[in-house]
């Protein structure tokens, strides 16, 4: 491994740029004469090896004569999967324990080892099962893995999956979030000790992480569910209900709000700060009280399963929420300040490509909806779902690859400039898919089709800076304004001359209708407050208080906030609130915001943080 590392250092000293292909050639050259595969070197092992030598063999490390500049370029070169932190933060996905679901959708997987709609072969689900679905263990394992791959891990977005968050008991939800934060707040030594203690506790309770034993334990119940002889909920009661080890664990898997807030306070200055907390729900489960409870836990974004706005397809699939109920859910989520991340499923029973495109256009242009992000998940058939009967009878057929690619490419091209399409395919193993798209690189194929069309693209992910370096001095600030049902929205973005995005901000300006909804529902937000719902600066995630080669820590976020405050003031608002994540509270305090209940607020006209020359100039581009 040392020889490979020295090869890389030699090229870096010569000023060479090490791309993926160059690094792969170096690895192959070092392995060519090594017959024993177990002795082969790999890029994956470079970063842990380097850190190990630097920490445990300082004399050897000094012999490499690495200064700060060279080390920075070396770590950039040997980072594994650099795209993982290209959005600006390190993302950790965790899965809650299996729990009954209030819905029974035609297409939804019924894997009894997982929460509803998830499959045990999905990567995040495999990690969760190996960790007994324990949030502390899941975060600890993922934190170590990202660190070993060379990613900065001091700014973390936590994504909590597992079906409908509101369906879980409140004490369990509080415990789950408390443990997420606790894993990030403790020292490395404390975390390692707690990981061992927890694993021992689960094993002593009679639980296992052995895949074969887990599959055998669930096989009978799974077969009965697949054959329709029992329901998913009934199977969960057998496997996780009374007289099972899982049921005994519920006595300590609970917490009160005070314990959560204690971990919040610790995280404000922790080594690994939470800059986003995401949960998912269904439209019919959205309520003012439920959203307030999410906010108390520190949530900043809500994923919501829309699937379609076509009423015929909704009815055919057994979805419980009609478009009017979905619209109400969007309004409440927006007025609470959350980012809105909608799930949409093309190719549902009862739909067709034209109807799918109409539903997408309605979702992204109708003021009742207008989400900030969208996941486009083509419907696919997995074993054990009621969709199987329709497929066998010929009443549902998956789109061919060309049709699906064309549809998704049109969605990308028609996306408004404030919308980010986060994903285009579920992370499901090909052997689990009975019928439907199995191409894991579907997004690359879609974007290739978009490029070949020559049509302009405004969609956010297509334009984001990602891992590239950028000169912020070449960027200009641009505003896109559009109407939502309960607020006028402003999407501020820093863009380069080639239209790549360095950063953006989402600002909501409540309307008179929004003010009435706030009053009627008793929301914790106020109509006299504009709301900053998101601030995001791109570029490879930079450690706190350092500057990356991308756009972070160059003052772009602060400039976005100042421009948003000026816009709000010009629109007649007396205050600006921000739905800050726990780990960003201190940042906003430095910008003149004060803690204000579930949010942070700043009085307009009293701005100790603003530079004397005021916020930067801004191009105003109204959406047609």
Q: For residue 173, how many other CB atoms are within 10 A of its CB? A: 22
Domain boundary among the residues 39, 56, 78 is at 78
* In a shared domain, residues 107 and 189: yes
Share of the chain above pLDDT 70, in %: 93
Give the predicted TM-score (pTM) of the model: 0.87
Which pLDDT score is estimated for 24?
Answer: 80
Which pLDDT score is estimated for 472?
Answer: 82
When pLDDT is averaged across residues 507-533 and rounded to a whole number, the result is: 97
* pLDDT confidence band for 616 (50 / 70 / 90): low
* pLDDT confidence band for 53 (50 / 70 / 90): confident
Domain boundary among the residues 410, 430, 463 is at 463
* In a shared domain, residues 38 and 28: yes
Which pLDDT score is estimated for 76?
Answer: 76
**399 vs 550, more confident:** 399
Q: How far apart are CA 123 and CA 94, in angstroms?
A: 11
CATH of the domain at 476: 3.40.630.30
Which pLDDT score is estimated for 550?
Answer: 47
Q: How far apart are CA 390 and CA 516, in angstroms?
A: 45
* In a shared domain, residues 161 and 266: yes
* In a shared domain, residues 22 and 53: yes
Q: For the chain, percent helix, then strand, then coil, each to nearest 5?
A: 45, 15, 40
Q: 19-23, 97-101, 321-325: lowest mean pLDDT where?
A: 19-23
Asked if the structure places residue 236 within a domain, the reply is: yes
CATH of the domain at 334: 3.30.750.200
When pLDDT is averaged across residues 490-495 and rounded to a whole number, the result is: 96
* In a shared domain, residues 73 and 97: no
* In a shared domain, residues 215 and 359: no
Which pLDDT score is estimated for 609?
Answer: 46
- With residue 480 as reference, give the H or E element that holds it: strand 476-483
Highest mean pLDDT (candidates 38-52, 323-337, 601-615):
323-337
Burial 347-375 (b: 16+ CB within 10 A, else e): bbbbbbeebbbebbeebbeebbbbbbbbb
Which pLDDT score is estimated for 29?
Answer: 82
The single-letter DSSP state of residue 424 is S
* In a shared domain, residues 312 and 432: yes
Round the average pLDDT of the chain to a whole number and report it: 89
Asked if the structure places residue 250 within a domain, the reply is: yes
* In a shared domain, residues 122 and 259: yes
Torsion 125-130-136-141 (CA) sign? negative
Report the number of distinct structural domains present in the chain.
4
Asked if the structure places residue 416 within a domain, the reply is: yes
Asked if the structure places residue 607 within a domain, the reply is: yes
Q: Give the three-state DSSP class for 478.
A: strand
Instruction: List, in sequence order, the alpha helices (H) in 33-86.
Output: 43-56, 58-63, 68-78
When pLDDT is averaged across residues 587-596 and rounded to a whole number, the result is: 97
Which pLDDT score is estimated for 54?
Answer: 83
Contact of 415 with 369, CB cutoff 8 Å: no
Which pLDDT score is estimated for 281?
Answer: 96
* In a shared domain, residues 155 and 97: yes
Query: Which among 21, 184, 161, 182 has a CA at the least distance from the CA of 89?
Result: 184
Query: Which among 337, 307, 249 has a CA at the least distance from the CA of 580?
Result: 337
* In a shared domain, residues 469 and 453: no
Strand bridging mode 476-483 / 433-435 = unpaired
* In a shared domain, residues 545 and 617: yes
Asked if the structure places residue 291 within a domain, the reply is: no
Domain boundary among the residues 463, 490, 511 is at 463
Asked if the structure places residue 295 within a domain, the reply is: no
* pLDDT confidence band for 621 (50 / 70 / 90): low
Q: In this predicted model, what pLDDT tens digit does every residue of 174-228 receive, in sequence order?
A: 999 999 999 999 999 999 999 999 999 999 999 999 999 999 999 999 999 999 8
As beta bridge partners, residue 601 has 577, 594
Asked if the structure places residue 298 within a domain, the reply is: no
Q: In this predicted model, what pLDDT tens digit does every residue of 101-122 receive, in sequence order?
A: 888 888 999 999 999 999 999 9
Which pLDDT score is estimated for 506?
Answer: 98
When pLDDT is averaged across residues 513-532 and rounded to a whole number, the result is: 96
* pLDDT confidence band for 615 (50 / 70 / 90): low
Which pLDDT score is estimated for 610?
Answer: 46
| Tokens matching residue 519 | 């009053």
Q: In this predicted model, what pLDDT tens digit does every residue of 133-175 receive, in sequence order?
A: 999 999 999 999 888 777 788 899 999 998 799 999 999 999 9
Full DSSP string of 218-257: HHHHHHHHHTTSS-HHHHHHHHHSTTSHHHHHTTTS---H
* Domain range enclosing 28: 2-78
Q: How far apart are CA 151 and CA 81, in angstroms?
A: 9
Which pLDDT score is estimated for 527?
Answer: 94
Q: In this predicted model, what pLDDT tens digit does every residue of 64-78 receive, in sequence order?
A: 888 888 887 787 777
* pLDDT confidence band for 613 (50 / 70 / 90): very low
Asked if the structure places residue 514 within a domain, the reply is: yes
Q: In this predicted model, what pLDDT tens digit does every residue of 391-404 receive, in sequence order?
A: 999 999 999 999 99
Which pLDDT score is estimated for 277?
Answer: 98
Burial 409-420 (b: 16+ CB within 10 A, else e): bbbbbbbbbbbb
* In a shared domain, residues 340 and 472: no
């Amino acid at each position: 491994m040392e020889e490979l590392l020295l090869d890389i250092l030699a090229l870096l000293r010569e000023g060479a740029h090490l791309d993926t292909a160059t690094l792969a050639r170096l690895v192959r050259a070092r392995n060519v004469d090594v017959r024993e595969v177990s002795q082969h070197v790999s890029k994956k092992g470079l970063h842990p090896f380097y850190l190990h030598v630097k920490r445990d063999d300082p004399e050897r490390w000094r012999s490499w004569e690495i200064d700060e500049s060279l080390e920075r370029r070396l770590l950039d070169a040997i980072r594994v999967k650099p795209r993982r932190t290209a959005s600006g933060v390190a993302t950790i996905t965790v899965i809650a324990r299996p729990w009954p679901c209030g819905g029974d959708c035609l297409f939804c997987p019924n894997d009894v080892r997982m929460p509803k709609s998830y499959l045990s072969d999905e990567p995040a689900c495999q990690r969760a099962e190996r960790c007994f679905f324990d949030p502390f263990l899941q975060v600890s394992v993922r934190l170590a893995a990202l660190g070993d791959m060379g990613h900065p891990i001091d700014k973390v977005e936590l994504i909590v999956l597992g079906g409908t968050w509101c369906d879980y008991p409140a004490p369990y939800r509080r415990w789950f979030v408390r443990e997420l934060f606790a894993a990030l707040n403790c020292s490395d030594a404390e975390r390692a000790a707690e990981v061992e203690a927890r694993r021992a506790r689960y094993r002593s309770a009679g639980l296992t992480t052995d895949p074969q034993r887990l599959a055998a334990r669930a096989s009978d119940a799974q077969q009965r569910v697949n054959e329709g002889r029992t329901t998913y909920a009934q199977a969960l009661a057998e496997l996780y209900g009374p007289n099972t080890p899982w049921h005994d664990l519920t006595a300590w898997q609970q917490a009160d709000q005070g314990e959560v807030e204690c971990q919040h306070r610790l995280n404000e200055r922790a080594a690994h700060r939470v800059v986003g907390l995401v949960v998912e729900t269904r439209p019919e489960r959205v309520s003012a009280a439920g959203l307030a409870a999410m906010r108390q836990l520190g949530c900043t974004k809500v994923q919501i399963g829309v699937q379609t706005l076509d009423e015929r397809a909704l009815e055919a699939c057994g979805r419980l929420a009609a478009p009017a109920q979905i619209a109400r859910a969007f309004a409440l989520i927006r007025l609470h300040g959350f980012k809105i991340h909608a799930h949409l499923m093309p190719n549902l029973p009862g739909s067709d490509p034209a109807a799918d495109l109409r539903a997408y256009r309605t979702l992204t242009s109708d003021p009742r909806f207008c989400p900030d992000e969208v996941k486009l998940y083509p419907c696919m058939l997995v074993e054990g779902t009621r969709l199987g009967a329709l497929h066998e009878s010929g009443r549902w057929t998956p789109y061919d690859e060309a049709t699906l690619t064309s549809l998704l490419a049109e969605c990308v091209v028609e996306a408004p400039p404030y919308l980010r399409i986060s994903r285009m395919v579920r992370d499901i193993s090909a052997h689990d898919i009975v019928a439907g798209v199995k191409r894991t690189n579907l997004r690359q194929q879609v974007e290739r089709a978009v490029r070949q069309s020559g049509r302009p693209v405004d969609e956010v992910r297509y334009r984001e800076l990602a891992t590239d370096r950028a000169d912020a001095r070449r960027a200009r600030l641009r505003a896109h304004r559009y109407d939502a049902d309960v607020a006028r929205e402003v999407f501020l973005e820093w863009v380069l001359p080639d239209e790549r995005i360095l950063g953006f901000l989402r600002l909501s300006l409540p309307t008179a209708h929004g003010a009435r909804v706030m009053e009627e529902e008793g929301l914790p937000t106020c109509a006299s407050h504009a709301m900053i719902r998101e601030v995001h600066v791109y570029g490879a995630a930079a450690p706190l208080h350092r500057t990356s080669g991308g756009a972070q820590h160059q003052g772009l976020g602060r400039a976005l906030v100042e421009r948003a405050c000026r816009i709000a003031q010009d629109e007649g608002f007396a205050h600006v609130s921000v739905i800050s994540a726990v780990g960003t509270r201190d940042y906003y305090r430095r910008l003149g915001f004060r803690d204000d209940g579930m949010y942070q607020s700043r009085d307009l006209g009293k701005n100790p943080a603003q530079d004397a020359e005021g916020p930067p100039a801004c191009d105003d581009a109204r959406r047609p």
